Chains A and B, each alone.
Chain A
Amino acid sequence: MKADQERRRVTVICGHYGAGKTNIAVNLAIGEKTRSGRPVYLADLDVVNPYFRAADAADLLREAGVVPLIPEFANSNVDIPSLPPMLPSVLEDGEDAVFLDVGGDDGAVVLGGFADRISAAGYSMICIMNMYRPLTATPDDAAKTVPAIERLSRLSVTGIINNSSLGAETTADDILASVGYAERTAEIVGVPLIGHSYIPGIAGDLSSDPRFSGLTLIPLRQATRALF
């Protein structure tokens, strides 16, 4: 699986809006840079919501050596759904790793136009699930978001990350309570559950908590801004 993943150049991060896609995309991109040292790009493809997005983490990405690809008008008052102009070229041949942070739900539509190139480059597409988001609170509702995203993107989801979180108030118990939800959701969708993500600074060090033994944990740093 590891070798297979390394061949894949493109990692698509998708899911319901507010699930925590941007934070995970930023973390995975920085992780990839640290691990492999190869050139890593993170493209902000969020055409849905002009407020919280990968463009907010541009400085953090640059510091870590990841090249952020940001739409020209992100975080300005120009409310137009534009894509980063460099996107087509980084999807062409090369050894670089490209992470695509996609807008929530219907935001997957932007992938459709690049589906052939993404497929040719080799990709994994990770759907982020969050039990504490009201419209994806049950495994059935969460699983329903997947076919919609696949239809719009013309790509297939290859795995799920459980990012069930209550923001700054998330506790280890909250995450533990979401394990069954995540497992059932992955079962319905029919893809592997990659792991359970959490922010150690908020939920504590779960790796030393025996209740989480045997589970794949994905520790994250807080990469997106908290307003206050």
Chain B
Amino acid sequence: MKGNEAIAEAAINAGCLYYFGYPITPQTEISEYMAKRMPKVGGLCLQAESEISAINMTMGAAASGARAMTSSSSPGVSLKSEGISYIAGCDLPCLIVNVQRGGPGLGGIQPSQSDYYQATRGVGHGDLRLIVLAPSSVQEMASLTAEAFDLADTYRMPAMLLADGALGQMMEPVDFSLFKKREVPEKEWAANGHGGKRKKNIINSLFIDPQELENSVVARYERYKKVEENEVKYEEFMTDDADIVLVAFGITARVAKSAITAVRESGIKAGLLRPITLWPFPKKEIGALADRARAFLTVEMNMGQMIDDVRLAVGGKRPVDGYTRTGGIIPSVDEVEDKIRRMAASL
């Protein structure tokens, strides 16, 4: 099935009954699929009048304790950013899907990874984090969607699936049974009607007293620390003896793997670390590789955004270079192979 359909079906399987969206290429199949499937499972798919409405409807549904999601593509996610900040400030779990396209501005409709900074740093104002998951196959579009809901519920925070137009549009087989569901805590905080049986729950992100606001942010960062300690996900490919370690996520990780396999045939020892969680970022793992590898190369569909995180993780121990294409262009295997060969020659 298509990557976008895999996200939608996986969300329904994960018990998401509320989807709010607004059409934008290249993720519209998520809305389309939800519109057809949600009524059949007793859920709601609502095409909102704007991205801003869609994210705020998601916030409302999440506040009631339901599993809720919204999806969009890059310019639409920018519009949602205020709502995302409110969701983080209210400690609400939900899923936000970004099937990235080229930017800035209206940009283009071809695939891109140029919202890395936005997803890991700046999606909404204030001190906040999102759990950011980066699928690299249609199978992962499904399994990471399911995982994102569990993570969001566990840590009571929004999670983002950061895909791209190529993954959204391409078709691969999917096995929905591959995902292992985890136990998640009861939502005792949900504003779903107290029925006179308990104290009322209030969902709020406004704190007039600065001390109270600081306390709430610090408490949230304690939870973020636990996420960083427990939820880092990544994949390593041929890194054991690698002189050159490529770091790539999502669709470019597939290009990187093909390039590594090709250069290995001529004796160049290259490997790949693929971050699956972009936040929390696998900084310890990359730091450990810096002790034995000789150089790092990021491959990204942006002007070099993740490279900052790789440099921080490497801590100046090794040179970190980047191979980047932007504007909706997917780097070719040949281009990446050529870059690795040139790096190997200068080691």
Contact = CB atoms under 8 A, between A and B. Distances in A.
| A and B part of one assembly | yes
Interface of A: 17-18, 49-52, 77, 79, 132-135, 166-167, 169, 227-228
Contacts, number: 49
Contacts of A18: 1-2, 171
Contacts of A49: 169
B48 interface: no
Interface stretch (B81-89, B102-110, B213-221, B287-295): B102-110
B9 interface: yes
Interface of B: 1-2, 5, 9, 25-26, 29, 33, 36, 102, 107-110, 165-166, 169-173, 251, 254-255, 258, 327-328, 330, 333
Contacts of A132: 1, 173
Contacts of B107: 77
Contacts of A166: 173
A169 B171 CA distance: 11
B108 A77 contact: yes
A228 B255 contact: yes
Given A50-B109, A52-B170, 10 more contacts: A50-B26, A77-B110, A79-B25, A134-B9, A134-B33, A135-B5, A135-B33, A167-B172, A227-B254, A227-B330
A81 B225 CA distance: 48
Nearest to B137: A228
Contacts of A169: 172-173
Contact of A227 (B2, B33, B110, B166): B166
A contact face: mostly helix, strand, loop, or mixed: loop
**Max chain B Cβ within 10 angstroms of own Cβ: one of A49, A51, A166:** A51
B1 A51 contact: no
A228 B254 contact: yes
Contact of A77 (B2, B33, B102, B173): B102
Nearest to B29: A17
A227 B258 CA distance: 12
Nearest to A228: B254
Nearest to A48: B28
B95 to A, nearest CB: 20
Contacts of B170: 52, 227
A166 B1 CA distance: 8
Contact of B109 (A77, A135, A227, A228): A77
A52 B165 CA distance: 11
Given A50-B109, A51-B165, A227-B170, A133 B1 contact: yes
Contact of A52 (B1, B169, B172, B330): B169
A202 to B, nearest CB: 12
A134 B1 contact: yes
Contacts of A52: 169-170
